[in-house]
Amino acid sequence: MNFSDWMPDLSHPWTRFALTVVVALAVAGLLRRAVDMVLRRFALRHPRGASIIARAKAPMDVIVPLAMLLLAFRGAPDEPARLIDGMEHVIAVLLIGACTWFLVRCIGALEATVSRFNPIDLEDNLRARRVQTQVRVLSRTGMVVVIVLGLGVALMTFPVVRQFGASLLASAGLAGLAVGLAAKPVLGNLIAGIQIALTQPIRIDDVVIVEGEWGRIEEITSTYVVVAIWDERRMIVPLQYFIENPFQNWTRTSSQILGSVMLWFDYGIPLDPLRDELQRICKDANEWDGRVIVLQVVDASDKAMQLRALVSSSNSGKSFDLRCKVREGLIAFVRREFPEYLPRLRGELESELRAVDAASPPFASKLANVRR
């Protein structure tokens, strides 16, 4: 038996096609290994890109063989055309899906890399919060756009869908208007997300007052914002809310904040000892940042005067704790040193008691008990 008897008949189109598929897969394997070697060297020289390369590895393992198979199917025999066309269509759809997966993974890896190199668990984290907000909002928006485009491209490969889309465009008019109105909330939030990423009225970990609730911006997605309320509740707010409605942002330019404590005391209380005690309380408190400490009389009524203690802290959480310490400390100091100047109702009854005492002793004795 000759060696030529074992050789396949290369003149047959299906034999050449099978050989082309095998060669395409072999080339895909070699090409993937070469790309892996190049990317590993790149990751060693650029550690920040290692995360992106690691996340893109799985999609690349699928994209390269599918791309080579698609090229191989271009040289497939014409018969049977339906089978070949169907397999080629499936490979093309899978390739579109793999490319979409690849882009989404790269965007997510880029977001994770930027977040890792810009941590927000620092005292002065304004720049890190600004960068994280921009990257997170833009990455989520980019993912949505990539997925929608990938799905649209995949659907357009089906002749029925392509003809349906052409007929819709031909008779657009009212249908286009209806689709536009239906998509208005989605598009509005998408545009609002881009506005927030660029102008940054809010950032990750910002302290905000929304609908009367105090909380921190915990997450910003492509359609809504998660606000972590102080009592561990979560408020879900659409992105458009922060573009169309007023709200308070306590950390817009800095996390430093002033806290005030309002107290009512009698007019006769001396203020210098209170100021000394306020100084002592703040200096002993770790929450005070050493910038501001003021005690002033800000209001007065016919019964007492109102004092305001103004103290500063590095962030709103510490400010709340410091205000509680100042309030407790000043009240305890006044109760201990000047109890007679605590707010109370007083009246001059001496002359009235004497007049009533002579006229009606029983009634006078009741008033005397009230006086005591």
Residue 369 forms part of a structural domain: yes
Tokens of 210: 């929304």
Reported as type and span, the H/E element at residue 108 is helix 81-117
CATH of the domain at 295: 3.30.70.100
Residue 216 forms part of a structural domain: no
Q: Are residues 266 and 148 in the same domain?
A: no
- Weakest-pLDDT range from 93-97, 231-235, 359-363: 359-363
Q: How far apart are CA 151 and CA 191, in angstroms?
A: 20
Residues 298-344: tens digit of each pLDDT = 999 888 899 999 999 988 889 999 999 999 999 999 999 999 888 77
Residue 284 forms part of a structural domain: yes
Residue 264 forms part of a structural domain: yes
Q: Are residues 351 and 266 in the same domain?
A: no
Q: Are residues 263 and 357 in the same domain?
A: no
Q: Are residues 327 and 360 in the same domain?
A: no
Residue where one domain finishes, among candidates 124, 147, 171? 171
Residues 71-92: tens digit of each pLDDT = 777 665 555 555 666 777 788 8
Relative orientation angle of helices 13-45 and 50-73, to the nearest 10 degrees: 170
Structural domain including 89 reads 9-171
CA dihedral angle for residue 38, residue 44, residue 46, residue 49, rounded to 10 degrees: 70
φ, ψ at 263 (rounded to 5°): -135, 150
Residue 352 forms part of a structural domain: yes
Q: Are residues 162 and 84 in the same domain?
A: yes
* Mean pLDDT, the chain, integer: 77
Check whether 174 has a pLDDT greater than 50. Answer: no
Residue 8, Cβ density class (10 Å: 0-12 exposed, 13-18 middle, ≥19 buried): exposed
Which residue has better confidence, 180 or 38?
38
Q: Are residues 13 and 160 in the same domain?
A: yes
Check whether 1 has a pLDDT greater than 50. Answer: no
Residue 311 forms part of a structural domain: yes
Q: Are residues 89 and 120 in the same domain?
A: yes
Query: How many domains, the chain?
Result: 3
Pinpoint the alpha helices (H) of 119-267: 126-156, 159-170, 172-182, 184-199, 241-244
